Every structure is written in C-alpha cells, then in structure tokens.
C-alpha cells in the first residue's frame, strides 16, 4: 500500500523514448531531427554502460590495403557459418560513413605521427582496421556523445531510471500490435513512472551478468531482452555467449578486461611455467577468434588445475606498451603488476551476448514502433561468434538506421493512447531482501557451472530445473512486493537465463561459442535458434 507523504508517480510523454544510454542509445538520439521530443533514460549515470569500458576500438574499412569484401569474409569466418551475409554487408558497407559521423561529433581517435588514423589489428581480422582512442575507445565515444546529447535542447537525459516493462496495445486491451511506451522505476523515490511515446528504442545492452565472472558493468542484466520477450518479441541465438579470453585475475579487479588489442600487438598467452600453448589449438595462435582462445584457456586451466593463466607483452619496449595501452598499464600497476616487466594474470569471463531481440536492417522488432539497437538486438551480424570490434560498429550503423526509419515515419504515427498509472495499491515493501541476494548468487553460480564455456546436456538440464524453480519464486515475489532495482534485475536475469538454456538445449551441435561435449561436431545446415513467446503476433510490414 502507499506510504504516507509519498509523492504521486509522474507521467511523461515524448515522441521517442530511448531506454539505455550507451553508444547505441546516444547514436539514435543524436541522429533524430531536433523537432522531435526525445527522452533517454539510464539506470545509473549517463555513460555508465558497457560502451564506457570498451577498450579495443571500432572495426571499419578505412585503409587502402583493406576492402569491404575482406571485412565481410573475416566476419563470416568468425561467425561460424551462422552470420546473415546481408546483415554483414549492410554493416560493413556503412562502416566508413558511421566513423566519419563519429569523428564529426568530436571523438578524438589516435593518429600516427603523419596525422593519419592509427589502425590496429585484433583476432579474426586479416587487416589492420580497428580505429581506436588509445586503449579507452569506449570512454572517448561515450563521453563525447553524452556531451553532444546534453547540448541538444530536444533531448532530455534522465539517470536513475530502471525500465520495468513495455506498454503495448495488447496490454491496454486495444487493437493493433504497437508499443506505446514503458513503465520505469525512479530510483530516487522508488516509484514507477509512466512514460508514453510514439516510438520506443531498446538500447539496454546484453545479459552477461547472468554469469559469475563477467567483464560487463553491473547494469548488464538483460533488461531489454526480457521486457521485449514478455511483450511478444522473438529472440534468437541466445546460446551464443561470448567469453572474453582475458579478464584481469585479481581479487580486487572487478570486471576489468585486458583488450584483445594486446594480443593483436604481440602479446603471448602462457602457462604458469612460462610456455606458450595457443599454437596447439589453432594455427593463428593468439590471433585466433575469441571462442577458440577462451576454450583453449579453459582447457589448460582445467588440465592443470590452475585458477588463471598469463598474458605477456613484456618483451615489447616499455614505451611502446605505455603508449598503446595506458589504461591497462595504469590499472595493472595499481594492483602491483608492471606489464612492461611481467605477465598479466588472466581468466575468461562472460563478455558479450551475441543473440537477442530479432530485428531487421531498420532496427525494427516484431512490435510496431519498437526498435532495438546494440547488444540487446539480434541482427544476424555476429552469427555464432562476434568478431572483435564489430559491436560498437553495430551500435553506430543500426542506431543511425533506427533514427532514419523513425524520421521517415514520424509524421504518420499518432500520439500514444492514454495508459493507466502503475498500480502499487496491492503490494507492500519487502522484508525478505535476503531472498533476492541468495537467488542472485545461486543463478549466477549455476549459469557459470552448467551453461558456461563447455556444456553438456545433463548440465543444461540441471540448469533448466534450477531456473524454473527460481522463476516461480521470483514471479511470486514480484506479484506481492514493491519493485526494486535488485528485484527487477533478478527477474530479468532469470528470464534471459531461461532463454539461454532453452536455446542451448535446442542446438544439437558445437558451433562457434556454443560448445557441447555431447555434440562435438557440426550439423550440415547452419540454422538460427529462434524462440517464440506465447504473446507473439506476426508483425505488420
């Protein structure tokens, strides 16, 4: 029931509501015409998502020695035969203009002494095509785009807001298959607010917090994927969870990854005795795609009973290391590790969700006026394994595509209908928060143990049994208590974990990031794993 002196929940109306403030959401906002009233909401501070921590860079064809075809073929090869070639070509062909737009916003990319953009190379790439800002590209992109958004009078930025659920015509008992906004929790007063909008964009990132070890920030709890699934959107390829091979292994180093660019510039993976091992797993050695490198490290750790291995770039000149990797150098030094003189202890960690909400080249989903951009979406670009530095490119290309589609359609889309305020009259504050923390820990432990880098059918079935129990328990909790950030994140993580497990059980082969001991070979035909919710309706053209 309502508490004394509680403020009345607020109601808002916009032309475009963007949920998520990383590169994807900001790109959409900044490419919309300035006569549209736009709201961009973020869980924590604006620019606190995964984009901020991206170290490596953005893949694009910018060098005369490179070509669109090279980038396309590299991406298709890394994707394990499951990429949509149309989506890959669409993305790569628009890479140069997207980078030019980004440079135009003021992002200060690293340049050579002759003022040319410095391009580096990462695993899976046949050419140097990674544009970067030292080893803190995400920070440069995120802070620059945020500053641009803050300067636009038509864009309102709201932090401390957590999306609860999408509002659709079906939920309002109205005809049609349309999204008309979302209910969003205001963390300042713990009330759920009504946000109505003609267009809604999901840009919430991935779901790597479903795992015990991850490189992602705390907000990566699969909120957008879970909300879209509940609203009636299909999701695809959720079994393909990319584990970054090299996360810094240190008790106080939370979620700090060691960029793939370290291996691209000559870093070597080593066992505790100092010997190399990657050549035994792939002829490309340290430059093999991430899934191969992560499995190799996982294999060697289990074989040796080691809790971590090592990445060594100390054979390079100290000035070279400090110049190319200043963030990594300073971070490691803060933990007593001088990477110019010693190896870096590393361990694989959940890093990227390759599947997500099914969308097209315009970033449209199965629900009218609902878009998805970035890691929350499934475009077909990544296939069974995302190639390094294609993710920020996807945010830019599809963010601009979504904005262009909204711009084309906005004159024809009427204002959103009226919707009821969030009803808190039948719930109470929880005095059992320990249940949430316990269930959170249980979920992330069994996902790591049973649905990790190497899987078996029996492990997946055990995980499915556990997630079903958690789902029922959390559903009851959600129905009876006032919502909180922790409860909403746990609810969403349980949903996306179930989607990951169900997709993994359906795939009877080992392909890309999905490796199962029960089906080590490849099927002759590569097919996406598309999950369809009971609330799904065939989308209109």
Which positions are catalytic? Answer: 290
Helices 23-30 & 390-409 angle (0-180, nearest 10)? 30
- Residue whose pair of structure tokens reads 């994140």 in the numeric block: 489
137 to each of 89, 134, 331, how far by Cα in Å? 24, 7, 16
Look up residue 518 and give its two tokens.
């029960």
Q: Residue 33 in contact with residue 104, Cβ under 8 Å?
A: no
- DSSP element (H, E) containing 164: strand 161-168
Alpha carbons 73 and 83: distance in angstroms, whole number:
10
Alpha carbons 270 and 344: distance in angstroms, whole number:
10
Alpha carbons 146 and 130: distance in angstroms, whole number:
22
Alpha carbons 84 and 528: distance in angstroms, whole number:
10
Q: How many CB atoms lie within 10 A of CB 171?
A: 18
Q: Residue 511 in contact with residue 522, Cβ under 8 Å?
A: yes
Alpha carbons 491 and 467: distance in angstroms, whole number:
11
List all residues 6 or more positions away from 515 whose beta carbon is below 8 Å from its beta carbon: 291, 295, 453, 454, 455
- Residue whose pair of structure tokens reads 């969030």 in the numeric block: 422
* DSSP letter for each residue of 375-389: TTEE-SSSTTSPPTT
* DSSP letter for each residue of 169-186: TTTTT-SS-BEEEEEEEE
Pairing of strands 130-131, 119-120: antiparallel
3-class secondary structure, 117: strand
Look up residue 364 and give its two tokens.
């449209």
Q: What b-and-e string marks burial along 154-169, b requiring 16 or more CB atoms within 10 Å of the CB?
A: bbebbbebbbbbbbbb
Helices 390-409 & 85-93 angle (0-180, nearest 10)? 90
Computed from CA positions of residues 382, 386, 391, 393, in that sequence, does the dihedral angle turn out positive or negative?
Answer: negative
């Amino acid at each position: 029931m309502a508490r004394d002196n509680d403020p009345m929940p607020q109601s808002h109306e916009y032309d475009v509501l963007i949920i998520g403030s990383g590169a994807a959401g900001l790109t959409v906002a900044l490419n919309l015409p300035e006569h549209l009233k736009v709201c961009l909401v973020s869980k924590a501070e604006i620019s606190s998502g995964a984009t901020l921590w991206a170290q490596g860079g953005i893949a694009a064809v910018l060098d005369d020695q490179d070509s669109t075809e090279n980038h396309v073929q590299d991406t298709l090869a890394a994707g394990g035969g499951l990429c949509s070639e149309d989506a890959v070509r669409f993305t790569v062909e628009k890479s140069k203009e997207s980078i030019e737009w980004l440079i135009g916003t003021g992002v200060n990319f690293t340049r050579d002494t002759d003022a040319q953009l410095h391009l580096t190379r990462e695993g899976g790439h046949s050419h140097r095509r990674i544009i970067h800002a030292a080893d803190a590209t995400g920070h440069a992109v995120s802070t620059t785009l945020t500053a641009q958004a803050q300067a636009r009078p038509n864009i309102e930025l709201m932090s401390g807001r957590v999306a609860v659920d999408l509002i659709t015509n079906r939920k309002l008992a109205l005809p049609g298959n349309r999204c008309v906004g979302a209910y969003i929790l205001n963390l300042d007063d713990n009330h759920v607010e009504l946000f109505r909008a003609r267009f809604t964009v999901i840009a919430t990132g991935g779901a790597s917090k479903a795992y015990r070890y991850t490189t992602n920030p705390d907000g990566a709890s699969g909120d957008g994927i879970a909300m879209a699934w509940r609203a009636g959107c299909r999701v695809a390829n959720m079994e393909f969870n990319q584990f970054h091979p090299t996360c810094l292994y240190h008790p106080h180093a939370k979620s700090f990854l060691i960029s793939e660019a370290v291996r691209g510039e000559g870093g070597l993976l080593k066992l505790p005795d100092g010997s190399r091992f990657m050549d035994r797993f792939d002829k490309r050695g340290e430059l093999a795609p991430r899934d191969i490198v992560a499995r190799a490290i996982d294999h060697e750790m289990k074989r040796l009973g080691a809790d971590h291995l090592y990445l060594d770039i100390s054979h390079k000149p100290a000035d070279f290391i400090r110049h190319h990797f200043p963030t990594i150098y300073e971070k490691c030094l803060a933990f007593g590790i001088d990477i110019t003189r010693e190896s870096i202890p590393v361990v694989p960690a959940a890093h990227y969700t390759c599947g997500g909400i099914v969308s097209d080249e315009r970033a449209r989903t199965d629900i009218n006026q609902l878009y998805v951009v970035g890691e929350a979406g499934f475009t077909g670009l990544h296939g069974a394994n995302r190639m390094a530095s294609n993710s920020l490119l996807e945010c830019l290309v599809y963010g601009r595509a979504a904005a262009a589609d909204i711009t084309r359609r906005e004159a024809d889309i009427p204002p959103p209908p009226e919707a009821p305020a969030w009803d808190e009259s039948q719930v109470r504050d929880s005095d059992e928060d320990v249940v949430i923390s316990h269930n959170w820990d249980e979920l992330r432990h069994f996902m790591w143990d049973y649905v990790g880098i190497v899987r078996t059918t029996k492990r997946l079935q055990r995980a499915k049994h556990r997630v079903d129990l958690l789902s029922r328990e959390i559903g009851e909790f959600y129905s009876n208590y006032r919502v909180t950030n922790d409860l909403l994140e746990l609810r969403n993580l349980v949903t996306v974990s179930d989607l990951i497990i169900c997709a993994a059980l359906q795939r009877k082969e080992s392909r890309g990031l999905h490796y199962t001991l029960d089906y080590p070979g490849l099927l002759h035909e590569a097919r996406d794993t598309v999950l369809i919710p009971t609330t799904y309706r065939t989308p209109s053209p």
